[in-house]
Structure 1
Amino acid sequence: MATELHESIFMAKQERHKNLFLNYRNLNHFPIELLKDEGLQFLERLYMKRNSLTTLPDNLAQKLPNLIELYLHSNNIVIIPEAIGNLARLQSLDLSNNALQLLCPEIGRLRSLRHLRLSGNQLKSLPPEIGDLQDLETLDVSMNQLVSLPDRLHRCVSLQTLTADHNRLCHVPRQLCWLRRLNQLSMATNRLNFLPLDLGRSRELQFMFVDNNVDLKGLPSYLYNKVIGCSGCGLSSQVLDSGLGETLGEALGEALVGLPVEVKVVGSETDGVVPLEELALRTLHRLYHHRPTELNLLHPIALPKSLLDLLQFPLGHCHRCSQPMFTIIYPKLFPLRDTALAGVHRRTTVSFVAYCCSSHCLRTFDLNG
């Protein structure tokens, strides 16, 4: 086996191969032959699937500077060295089915990275620096132990597919609604109890899978015309009565639909007064997005960062008039059994929920309109 490995690496050096396959070689250590002398300066793709590696060398980028793809699926890698950030040309990194418990912040220095696969590890969190990967198109973090996703993930402006199945996620950051190129979001088998109000508002998002989130009782109605997987959702709630959802008091009194904790006030049909705090935030939002120069009138009084973040990422937008909402919403239920999806998702009690900015919008909103 050692002789065969040596010959494979020798031939790669002699013939200046761009691809090197070292899968199923029972390797416990990174082959030192790859790191001798000048290394393999011309190598672009290295495949080392199903070995027994536990770490990577610190001088990997120095000896293999032109790596575009590094495939390390199914090893025993526990830690990734900080020097991984020096692989400036790396576009695809597969660390699936390893033993990672931490991901170093230097991963954010891989500015050419387009595909990052981390499924089947023991990660409990992701570093915020992952949001620096602006060329990232695919991120797979399924089958880990994640309890949250980084808020800065919305900076991955090229992200098209995000897979986070089989984790311990209780919520989805509302900032993800600003990923304009996101086409598929899969978060099946987690602990979700609500989804961001704006999820699905982007036309690009076409596939949404949240199957087997038993506490998830409501889907934003922006997802109404998307491809949705929600079988097994809402199973921990009681089955909806035939008249339930006709009035907000009943729906919210039974707590059938989870709402974001940031929502301080939930409007009722008899409440025609919008709180002053909500009006102020809506006004600031208009200034911030449509007439930013007028914000200069607020100086030298500086707005706190928390307020600026809220203005940039409102909780949601009215499903009827697109008015941004911050502290008050008017939810309206459309039980799944009343939609075309009823025959598809038999193992679910989830409903679609429209979120409106006023009682007037609520009364005039029609999911089929």
Structure 2
Amino acid sequence: MIVKDEERVLGRCLDSVRDLVDEVIIVDTGSSDRTQEIASHYTPHVYHFLWKDDFAAARNFSFEQATKEYIMWLDADDVLYEQDRNKLADLKQSLSWEPDAIICDYQLAFDTAGNATTNSRRYRLIKRSQGYRWHNPVHEYLDVTGGKVLQSDIAVSHHRVGDHSARNMRILQQWIARGGKLEGRMLFFYANELLDQQRYLEAMECYETYFQEPSGYREDRIAACGKLAECYHHLGRKEKKIDSLFKSFHYDVPHADICCTIARSFEDRGEWALAIYWYSRALESREPDGYMGVVNIAYRTWVPHVQLCLCFANLGLLQQAFEHNEHALSYLPGETNLLENKRRLEIALGI
């Protein structure tokens, strides 16, 4: 782990894995709070690393301190809950071959009941002898090209503390000033930071440049289509927004979030039949095998049903509207607006 000023969350993270791992490596990059003291209660392996605005460098240093066969990396605001602790323990006991990397779920957002609503997948455990390295000073990633990979359903839950957009942009701008070239994933990540800072025109130009490159990760390309559409939305260029969404079909089957965004565009025009078509496609979509990108589960569960209720109601098809509202309630029982929809639709249908 690399840490800085994580006294609020470090103990929670380490408590969730301390009995499952054979050593704990903590690399502190300049804490001014009790982070180092807390870390020392869990491990004697607490190291100091002079921060140089480069997450990959810090993570690579942390990997260099490890001595066991496999390395599992975590952030201080990550945690393994009991179900996933049990899965990790079972994996350690039952692993019958030696993969070079193990992919785990990374849960990024949660509903009020604690259920994951947004998920991605990351290379989480790495065979140390392979010498895999981290790349990029920010939005760093592990390159395990050519490695033997095991897919696991173990989930690491991430409860982010704070907004890091300003920090990320500062690191990227410093990297550019030092001669870093904006291309490939770095161009994609830079565009994302521009979008987060609502610099829509600049972000749009970067995404368009990114698409001119001959190759790229499938997940990045699809995400860029959705983000470019968001830029065009804010810039008032509705036709270009739709074009950007359809562009994602060059890279994969239609994804639920893309289908919902297309549907919403038609809904905003009052083109209810077309909106219904695309919300229905969202409900039919499935996450492709091996997909590593961010997936918002709501876009293939309750969101399409809520909007289909509205679309059918606008067409006067109240029975279909009622049925979709019921489906939405199965995901969000007790949701006030949905319960009010149910009451009104029951009155209108004479139920």
Greater Rg by CA: 1
Q: Same fold (TM over 0.5)?
A: no
Which of the two has greater helix per residue?
2
Query: TM-score under structure 1 normalisation?
Result: 0.29
Normalised by the size of structure 2, how large is the TM-score?
A: 0.30
